[in-house]
Homo-oligomer: A and B are copies of this chain.
Amino acid sequence: MTTILNDWDKAGTLLAAASRVVILTHVSPDGDAIGSLLGLGHALLATGRQVIMAVDEGVPPNLQFLPGSAQVLPSLAGVTTDLVIVVDCSDERRVGKVGEAARRLQTPWINIDHHVTNVAYADANIMDPAFVSASEAVLNWLHKLNLPLSPDVAQCLLCGLVTDTLCFRISSVTAVTFAVAQELMAAGANLSEIVQNTIARMPTSALLLWKQVMPSVRIEDQVTWARLTLADKQAAAFDDKNSDGGLVSFLLQADDAYISCIFKEKENNQVEISLRSVPGFDVGAVAFNVGGGGHKQASGATLDGTIDEVEAKIIPLLKAAAQAGAPLFH
């Protein structure tokens, strides 16, 4: 187990000595990665420092509504700096090409994060899993630095909080989370703008994927499932390899469902299964027993065979798991 990393003083000393700062985050950035990056960027810009922000491939279109996103660079070509700060990234390799370029600058690094898996790869490392988002970690740092919250800072940090908590839905949300949200709203954040651009939006290709997949939905014995074929993905022009467009979580919402599963057809006669369960049921053990892994409430595995074959093997296991549990929240 990683313990809490709390080099707050060392981070403050490194920052105090730096007049030029590079801020980075992880590849394939989500709302918390970009929100933390920009929130910290706005706050440090207001101190008079030169601030360079970068992420491989730049800011994704859905997050370009955030103030300052046009200033985020897709590479570090030609950049010099005194200090590198990485937000929301547990492992240096996940910083991507801009991380490799930053390492060649031979300056101190600060790592500020909320993932319990953080490997403390910087000179000053800050990580507390009690922070529900990296943006909450950044907010705590701004407090320690006595830096004010402009509306732009608040907007970017609230984006991180809203997206990483699925708009306050996940079980790690506490009274502190709401206190953070209150502070950011009072500082001028616009919640509606964040909601409309992030959690209330989905790619049109995902909607078209649902159109393809939904006719295959079944529900029996507290288990609900659907099939996502290669033909479905092609028909929907859905090219996100790592996603099912949110389907497996959606299926679990049905009153009579305790366990949900999506069977995703892969190349090479393989099928990936993605599993979810409500508290009180364990799909981690099911995945583990067929060579996969995960947690009680979310797991997955990849099996050889056709969808028909894999479905015939997995559905009885899921029905048994549904039979073996009892819902904690029903």
Which residues of B have CB within 8 Å of A202?
253-255
Give bound CA distance, A253 to B210, whole Å: 12
Stretch binding the partner chain, chosen from A84-92, A185-193, A310-318 = A185-193
On whether the beta carbons of A199 and B169 are closer than 8 Å, the reply is yes
Give bound CA distance, A185 to B204, whole Å: 36
Tell me which of A179, A197, A206, A279 has the highest count of chain B C-beta atoms within 10 A of its own C-beta.
A179
Give the copy number: 2
Which residues of A274-330 have CB atoms within 8 Å of chain B's CB atoms? 278-279, 328-330
On whether the beta carbons of B167 and A201 are closer than 8 Å, the reply is no
Which residues of B have CB within 8 Å of A176?
182
On whether the beta carbons of B168 and A168 are closer than 8 Å, the reply is yes
Which residues of A154-205 have CB atoms within 8 Å of chain B's CB atoms? 167-169, 171, 173-176, 178-179, 181-183, 185-186, 191-193, 195-197, 199-204
Interface: A78 (CB within 8 A): no
Give bound CA distance, A176 to B195, whole Å: 18
Task: Count A interface residues, CB 8 Å.
Answer: 51
From B178, B193, B201, B217, give the contact of A178 (CB < 8 A): B178
Which residues of B have CB within 8 Å of A255?
62, 201-204
Give bound CA distance, A200 to B167, whole Å: 12
Interface: A215 (CB within 8 A): yes
The 4 A-B residue pairs with the shortest CB-CB distance in the complex, in nearest-first order: A175-B185, A196-B329, A178-B182, A214-B214
Residues of A within 8 A of B (CB): 62, 65, 167-169, 171, 173-176, 178-179, 181-183, 185-186, 191-193, 195-197, 199-204, 206-208, 210-211, 214-215, 217, 219, 224, 251-257, 278-279, 328-330
